[in-house]
């Protein structure tokens, strides 16, 4: 009787190992896709050095602290022609305003996001979006904004402002966005 | 444990010579009259639903090949209802009467959680067996068995296996975010394999078919990831500043061609299997993007705007100057070199619409494959070079389509909600 049980166990183990071999060819994700941990960024307050300066009476003015929200609201988008990353006269005017805003708020950094309309290869548009972001960065730097305050990223055609497929939407979507960041 | 699939065991292989060499991509060829009968029970147990599913899957695959005209099953005579899997048992005279030149018969048994399918391909005129297979698996394997037999039918008739046992990878936004999915070639059994909750783009399979690479914004930058399909293990291969996009595995090893813009401008690089840079291939201030390997791994086709508009260029992986390939059109992108090396597929924008074209690697014989409404983009080849997979928005949303390499037989394969694009066809699975 004992022997039979042992034999049964051997059979079970052998079967299991066979099945284990079998499962090597199975896409793991056919099981319910594991919930990946959602990365949540915990905002940690950085201790900021307190500037302590002696001032004369004449320097006392109502200094508005650099308000990132306000800057973020005032930074304006620029737009591009199809398959182009050159800056139009209008774009240069807007960039000049953005540069002035950044120079008045030295504590604020900016992330320039380059975007394209949906036409074109996705990869080509990723490269084009990057060129659009870099074109704006270079112009801001030429206007005196420190290069280390500016970062760039391309989203290609992945984040349209207007999901419609028409000329008006495409014109809106070919753009640089300026995001104020600390 | 019970959910695990026992691998299909191919127990009996009846070796048969190729019927005749048929070039599947040749347009206007004569179709072979085929009779596809429904599987009969090998023993007492009947399961009409199973037999019908096998028939439907095989039927869809054979239709895509364009090789066959089908004898209407309503005209079938007595032999269609008999098991008779030996050539001496088949009433070939009956099938000749119906005009059939090829005959598919088969049987199944389902017992103790084990599915057995016997499938046979007969040459009616020669009255002989062309290919016989015995498949053993689990009840849920009926689709896989039907795809595997479709591959074998192509092998018998053309000398090379079909691609129906492989998989398609693609990007879908049906979860609300762009994630990577896999599905069968006919669009069945879609499975989501990433959960990045970000933007996932542009997959490609390794030569062994076990891994995929893709670009994801998960960490806030378009980085290149590699994922083992079966274990689910994932790693970030290239997270250099700027773009890490358009990764394509070399045909025979683990090198990856891709676009990096770490120095502020997009250029084509080769990475080794660990993500280290082994070579920089382009040096140009404009946009260089979208690499694809020749099947011998000696050359790369890619897209550059170095002549103003995006055009396709060829480059030796040993270095040297890029040679321009496409001379026509003003916007040629997403090249894909065929597995036989004889064609490069790409998409061209004419007016406001994209269509798919082919061109020889020497620049000759350019031809347009797709017409009609909608944008057709992202062509990729089946592993046997017979078919192309691509994305089209002709039905409103972007979806995944297949067609033959001559542009005929296009069929939508992706379903469900959301937009699907960026298909990639796996090697043999």
Please give the average per-residue pLDDT across B206-211, as a whole number: 94
Neighbours of A34 (CB within 10 A): 10
Using the Cβ of A167 and the Cβ atoms of chain B, whether some distance falls under 8 Å is answered with: no
* Contacts with B313 from chain A: Cβ below 8 Å: none
pLDDT of residue A31: 35
Indicate the helix (H) or strand (E) that contains B356. strand B353-359
Please give the average per-residue pLDDT across B266-277, as a whole number: 96
**Mean of all residue pLDDT scores within chain B:** 91
Region of residue A116 (phi > 0: left; psi between -120 and 50: alpha; otherwise: beta): beta
CA distance B4 to chain A (A): 6
The CA distance from B287 to B245, in Å, is 13
For B29-77, strand residue ranges (E) read 32-36, 40-41, 68-70
Q: What Rg, from alpha-carbon coordinates, does chain A have?
A: 28
pLDDT of residue B8: 44
pLDDT tier for residue A64 given thresholds of 50, 70 and 90: very low
Q: What percent of chain B has pLDDT over 70?
A: 93
Residue of A nearest to B217 (CA): A155
The CA distance from B222 to B233, in Å, is 19
Is B251:B238 a contact under the CB 8 Å cutoff? no
User: What residue ranges define each of the domains in chain B, with the CATH number in brackets?
Assistant: 9-158 (3.40.50.10070), 167-425 (2.120.10.30)
The CA distance from B59 to B416, in Å, is 22
CA dihedral B71, B187, B303, B317 (to 10 degrees): -90
Q: Check pLDDT > 70 for residue A50.
A: no
Is B47:B13 a contact under the CB 8 Å cutoff? no
Q: What pLDDT, in 10s, does the model give residues A81-112? A: 988 999 999 999 999 999 999 999 888 999 99
CA distance A25 to chain B (A): 6
User: What residue ranges define each of the domains in chain A, with the CATH number in brackets?
Assistant: 65-181 (3.30.1330.60)
User: What DSSP character marks residue B214?
Assistant: E
Q: Check pLDDT > 70 for residue A18.
A: no
* Contacts with A158 from chain B: Cβ below 8 Å: 178, 199, 201, 217
The CA distance from B354 to B376, in Å, is 5
The CA distance from B280 to B282, in Å, is 6
Please indicate whether, in this complex, the C-beta atoms of B290 and A158 are within 8 angstroms of each other. Answer: no
Q: Which pair of structure tokens corresponds to residue A65?
A: 């602290």
Q: Establish, for the pair of chains A and B, how many residue pairs have beta carbons separated by less than 8 Å.
A: 121
pLDDT tier for residue B113 given thresholds of 50, 70 and 90: confident
Please indicate whether, in this complex, the C-beta atoms of A26 and B4 are within 8 angstroms of each other. Answer: yes
Sheet of B167-172, strand order = B191-192, B179-184, B167-172, B420-425
CA distance B96 to chain A (A): 42
User: Which residues are within 8 A (CB) of A32 and not within 5 positions of it... i.e. 6 or more apart?
Assistant: none
Q: Which of B4, B193, B334 has the CB atom closest to A27's CB atom?
A: B193
What is the maximum alpha-carbon separation in chain A? 104
Please indicate whether, in this complex, the C-beta atoms of A158 and B199 are within 8 angstroms of each other. Answer: yes
Say if the ipTM goes beyond 0.85: no
Q: What pLDDT, in 10s, does the model give residues B134-176? A: 999 998 999 999 999 999 999 999 999 999 999 999 999 999 9
């Amino acid at each position: 009787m004992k022997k039979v049980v042992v034999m049964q166990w051997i059979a079970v183990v052998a079967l299991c190992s066979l099945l284990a071999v079998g499962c090597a060819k199975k896409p793991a994700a056919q099981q319910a896709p594991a919930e990946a941990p959602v990365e949540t960024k915990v905002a940690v307050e950085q201790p900021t050095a307190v500037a302590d300066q002696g001032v004369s009476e004449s320097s006392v003015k109502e200094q508005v602290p650099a308000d990132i929200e306000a800057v973020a609201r005032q930074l304006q988008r620029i737009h591009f022609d199809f398959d182009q990353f050159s800056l139009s006269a209008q774009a240069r005017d807007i960039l000049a305003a953005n540069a002035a805003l950044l120079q008045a708020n030295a504590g604020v950094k900016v992330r320039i996001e380059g975007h394209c309309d949906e036409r074109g290869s996705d990869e080509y548009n990723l490269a084009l979006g990057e060129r659009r972001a870099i074109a704006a960065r270079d112009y801001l730097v030429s206007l005196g904004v420190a290069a280390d305050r500016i970062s760039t990223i391309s989203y290609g055609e992945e984040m349209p402002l207007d999901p419609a497929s028409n000329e008006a939407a495409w014109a809106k979507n070919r753009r640089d966005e300026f995001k104020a960041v600390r | 444990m019970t959910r695990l699939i026992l691998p299909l065991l191919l127990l009996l292989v009846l070796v048969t010579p190729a019927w005749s060499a048929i070039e599947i991509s040749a347009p206007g060829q004569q179709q072979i009259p085929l009779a596809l009968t429904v599987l009969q029970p090998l023993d007492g147990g009947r399961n009409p639903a199973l037999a019908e599913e096998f028939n439907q899957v095989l039927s869809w695959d054979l239709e895509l090949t364009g090789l066959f005209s089908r004898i209407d099953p309503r005209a079938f005579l007595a032999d269609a209802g008999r098991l008779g899997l030996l050539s001496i048992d088949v009433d070939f005279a009956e099938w000749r009467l119906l005009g059939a030149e090829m005959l598919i018969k088969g049987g199944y048994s389902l017992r103790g959680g084990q599915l057995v399918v016997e499938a046979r391909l007969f040459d009616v005129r020669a009255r002989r067996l062309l290919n016989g297979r015995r498949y053993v698996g689990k009840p849920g394997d009926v689709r896989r068995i039907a795809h595997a037999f479709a591959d074998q039918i192509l092998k018998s008739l053309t000398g090379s296996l079909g691609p129906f046992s492989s998989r398609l990878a693609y990007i879908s936004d049906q979860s609300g975010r762009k994630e990577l999915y896999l599905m069968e070639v006919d669009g069945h059994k879609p499975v989501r394999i990433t959960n990045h909750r970000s933007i996932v783009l542009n997959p490609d399979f390794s030569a062994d078919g076990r891994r995929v690479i893709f670009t994801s914004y998960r960490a806030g930058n378009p980085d290149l990831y590699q994922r083992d399909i079966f274990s689910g293990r994932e790693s970030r291969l290239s997270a250099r500043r700027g773009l890490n996009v358009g990764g394509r595995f070399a045909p025979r090893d683990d090198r990856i061609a891709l676009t990096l813009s770490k120095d502020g401008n997009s250029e084509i690089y080769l990475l080794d299997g660990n993500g280290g840079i082994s070579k920089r291939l382009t040096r140009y201030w404009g946009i260089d993007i979208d690499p694809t390997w020749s099947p011998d791994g000696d050359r790369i086709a890619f897209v550059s705007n170095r002549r103003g508009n995006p055009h396709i260029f060829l480059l030796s992986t040993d270095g040297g100057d890029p040679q321009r390939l496409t001379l026509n059109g003003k916007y040629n992108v997403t090249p894909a070199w065929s597995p036989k090396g004889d064609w490069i597929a790409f998409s061209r924008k004419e007016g406001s619409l994209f269509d798919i074209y082919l061109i020889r690697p020497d620049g000759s014989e350019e031809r347009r494959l797709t017409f009609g409404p909608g944008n057709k983009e992202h062509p990729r080849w089946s592993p046997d070079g017979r078919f192309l997979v691509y994305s089209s928005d002709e039905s409103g949303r972007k979806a995944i389509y297949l067609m033959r390499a001559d542009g005929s037989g296009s069929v939508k394969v992706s379903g469900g909600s959301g937009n699907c694009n960026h298909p990639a066809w796996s090697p043999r699975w």
